[in-house]
Structure 1
Amino acid sequence: MSWAFPAINGSLPAEEGGPRNLPGSTKAYTPQQIDDLSNPPDWYPDEHAPAPQIVQHGHAGALACGACHLMSGEGHPESAGLTGFTAEYIIRQMADFKSGARKDAARMNGIAKELSDEETRQAGEWFATLKPTVWTKVMEAATVPKTFVGQGRMRFALAAGGTEPIGNRIITLPQDQSKATKRDPHSGFIAYVPPGSIAKGEALIKGGSGKTIACNICHGDSLKGLGNVPRLAGLHPIYVARQLFLFRDGTRNGGDAQLMKKPVAQLTDEDIVAIAAYVGSLSPVK
């Protein structure tokens, strides 16, 4: 399951300096500015309400929220999409990161400890105003491009090309590598999943085989969320798989996680990949 927890093992060629642009944006940022995790680019500021300071500008050990989750809230595969979540749910997760009940040593545990309660509240309420979009295209494939994990723990296709069997993995790549590395909030991802996994996942989430509990009981009939229970529809499949692994092994152990212990207890790695593939393939748009 190491594929679900990407670790850097390569790098993209160094870019020349100079401003970069995106279609429809009046903004320009250099590569150094784009990669400044305390001051991420906001390519389309008119598409959202004014952001709280902590979303757009980090401090001390707290990176700006918009660096990883983007100013659209859709996030990159190594982080999480936050659109469609309630403020209460986001605030509760931050409390679990701060206490250590939910673990992400690479980023969120340290960030949560640096934030004040007011900063957390402001960020949660702001992200809760953002609407989800279709951000990841899920495709079944027996073979996938050979890849490496580069900057930002994002996966990229090897320049030399080549393919390999997908195995029991979810391989997520940018739809447009150049735009993704610019933190373009309009350019999403492709998640390659094993053949047959979407149909298998659909059967499982409906309670098939008696291995788990039907997900719609808590997450809503369309899996777009129900009250403070988060949406599953349209989330990064690799993120969903990562969380199911963490629920199963007890690493994610906050209050909400207690409700997930029984649903994941009998799931195999293959089941988890299938469930993640299916829910990721659903439209999150209400």
Structure 2
Amino acid sequence: MMSHWKYAVISSLLALCVSSAARAADFPEVDLARAEEINMGRCFLCHGVEGESTTALYPRLAGQHYQYIAKQLADFKAGRRQSDTMVNMAADLAPEEMLALGVYFEKKPTRAQDVQDGELAAIGRFIFLRGNEYSGVAACASCHGERGLGTSQLPRLAGQVPQYIERQLRSFNTRNRTNDNAVMHSIASRLTELEIRSVALYISSLN
């Protein structure tokens, strides 16, 4: 069991990595018409016309920080993040197109998802805001902010598809997620299945 002192150190280090909430973005000048063309040619099939996600298999992109979207696309193209589908989708994208897609989706409206199991979401709220000092799980809010809005460097989690959050946490744990893994593996590897499910459910209720 992790000591209170070690848990406090981890929480403090995570809190230093980013601010607790995202600020309104100052968008760069990009070709939004080109971004819409790319979206309607490929992205919308999985992520929806408005970035709302078409099924539980795919993440919502609406409201996601443009810098984060551009980075993930670059990582897919470079092979730093694995996904046969996304590697192919990003293969011919230029950096300016990746940036344009990021801005395009960040400008899309966001919304919270309806939560059917309030008791499970309440467990998730506790873990998200306070972590679990007995197992060494730091609070998600330490990096992603109390409202799950993230930063330009870390993803917005609020309103995300819960099943997608669950899959990513498991992928971080097993290191199948091959980018952004250092901190997230140390957290995900300590989460129980109950905590994974409850945190994902709570995150989906935020906006």
TM-score normalised to structure 2 length: 0.75
- Match of 2:97, SS state, is helix
Please state if 1:69 is matched with 2:47: yes
1:242 counterpart residue number? 167
Q: Deviations over 1:231-281 (max 9, x none)?
A: 212111111111111111101121x33221221121122221111111112
Structure with the larger strand share: 1
Contact 2:58–2:161 at 8 Å: present in 1 too?
Answer: no
**Greater relative contact order (CA < 8 Å, ≥ 6 in sequence):** 2
Structure 1: how far apart are the matches of 2:72 and 2:183? 14
User: Alpha carbon RMSD of aligned pairs, Å?
Assistant: 1.9
- Match of 1:82, SS state, is coil
In structure 1, the gaps of 5 or more residues are 1-48, 58-63, 141-194
Structure 1: how far apart are the matches of 2:127 and 2:187? 10
How many aligned positions are there? Answer: 172
In structure 2, the gaps of 5 or more residues are 1-31
Structure 2: how far apart are the matches of 1:199 and 1:104? 33
Superposed counterparts of 1:99-248, under 5 Å: 99-105=78-84, 107-134=85-112, 136-140=113-117, 196-205=119-128, 206-211=130-135, 212-248=137-173
Aligned counterpart for 1:260 among listed residues 159, 184, 194: 184
Contact 2:52–2:62 at 8 Å: present in 1 too?
Answer: yes
Q: Deviations over 1:118-157 (max 9, x none)?
A: 33222122112223123x32212xxxxxxxxxxxxxxxxx
- In structure 2, the CA distance between the partners of 1:258 and 1:83, relative to structure 1 (3 Å rule), is same
Q: Deviations over 1:215-237 (max 9, x none)?
A: 11111121122333222121111
Structure 2: how far apart are the matches of 1:201 and 1:52? 35
- In structure 2, the CA distance between the partners of 1:258 and 1:119, relative to structure 1 (3 Å rule), is same
- Match of 1:232, SS state, is coil
Identical columns (%): 33
Q: Which amino acid aligns with 2:126?
A: A
- In structure 2, the CA distance between the partners of 1:123 and 1:260, relative to structure 1 (3 Å rule), is same
TM-score normalised to structure 1 length: 0.55
Contact 1:85–1:128 at 8 Å: present in 2 too?
Answer: yes
